[in-house]
Chain A
Amino acid sequence: MSQNADQHYIEAVINGDTRAFSVLVDRYKYMVFTLAVKILKSQEEAEEVSQDVFVKAYTALSTFKGDAKFSTWLYKIAYYQSLDYLKKQKRTLNTSSIDSDTEFHLASAENALDSLEADERKLAIKSAIDTLAPDDAVVITLHYFEELSLKEIADIMKLEANTVKVRLFRSRKRLALLLKNKLEPEILATYGRK
């Protein structure tokens, strides 16, 4: 989404038009909610936290300088609001300890996916992402879905760009392996039914 398209609504909100904020909410609620789900692993909690993210963004909108994209600024709030929620619940963010030398075979993961129906495939990928550590799921979602650069992700998560790069590399491998392991038994079961 272009920054100019957001800027018009941001200015309207700052000038007192609360309704204009609903356009921004509608535009970004899916990504904010997805990030919260990835971290909190609960739809109900993610719903509550996401709503608070937008309320917080609304009250702090006048401090948004426009140096970064509005979306990046918002995702940063979402990320930290979710972490704060975990902290209040006395839960911690599980980070992964992935062996980067884990063996995987792309072809087998891809073949496994191809043999599934579209809906099943979607579900399989989704549950594989859910198995990732929250931080890795966030990195993967921001990079592959939102197409954010490593620098932008680093800015959101307050990490070094290089750290994000390593995490992305590992998560990618891990995800492929998870998909392969997850799908192979299902495919065998499908063959069994045929």
Chain B
Amino acid sequence: MEENKELDDFIRRSIKATGLENPSIDFTDSVLSKIKLANEQESVMVAKPLFSKTTWFLILAAVVAVFSYVFMAKSTAESTWLAAIELNKLTSFNLSLYIPELYSSSAFVYGSIAITLFVWIQVFLLQQRLHKSDALG
């Protein structure tokens, strides 16, 4: 026990005698200029939203207004220009009558699926890689 105490004192005296390591003379200035740089970058990087909150509110109000008008004024908005477009024709419209028949071999179909799959995997991998390099940078 006594020896532990002595050893403790001895190490304390020894460590205190060595002092601490000294960083470079311009250490504090370097830190402050790094902070300044970080502050500037931060102010540059603050992204302004494309639509302000007021604009979003106005868009929402306009959408709500249009929908409410359509539902509320249903009875008065009939039999005018909408009827002139003859939308009901669309239900009897058959696209396949107007275009030639498309034939694709099963090899073509499998190939297309494989290419799509590879492109999708590559996009995913590239995205991961970019994220990683962003995080490191």
Contact = CB atoms under 8 A, between A and B. Distances in A.
Given A58-B35, A126-B18, A175-B11, A106 B3 contact: yes
A137 B120 CA distance: 50
Contacts of B30: 51
- What size tier do the contact residues of chain B reach? 20 to 34
A106 B19 contact: no
A18 interface: yes
A131 to B, nearest CB: 13
B6 A47 contact: no
Contacts of A51: 27, 30-31, 34
A176 B10 contact: yes
Going nearest first, the 10 A-B pairs with the smallest beta carbon separation are: A144-B15, A30-B20, A33-B23, A34-B21, A54-B31, A34-B20, A25-B28, A125-B14, A125-B18, A37-B21
Interface string B1-14: 00100111011101
A88 B20 CA distance: 26
Interface string B106-137: 00000000000000000000000000000010
Contact size range, A: 35 or more
Interface of A: 18-19, 21-22, 25-26, 29-31, 33-34, 37, 43, 46-47, 50-52, 54-55, 58-59, 88, 106, 109-110, 113, 118, 121-122, 125-126, 129, 140-141, 144-145, 172-173, 175-176, 179
B17 interface: yes
Contacts of B79: none
11 contacts: A19-B32, A22-B32, A29-B28, A30-B21, A30-B22, A43-B21, A55-B35, A88-B136, A109-B10, A125-B14, A140-B11
Nearest to B36: A18
Given A19-B32, A33-B20, A33-B23, 18 more contacts: A18-B39, A21-B32, A22-B32, A25-B31, A29-B28, A30-B23, A34-B21, A54-B35, A55-B38, A106-B3, A110-B10, A122-B17, A122-B19, A129-B18, A145-B15, A145-B16, A176-B7, A179-B14
Contacts of A121: 17
Interface of B: 3, 6-8, 10-12, 14-24, 27-28, 30-32, 34-36, 38-39, 136
Contact of A21 (B17, B22, B35): B35
Contact of A140 (B3, B15, B19, B23): B15
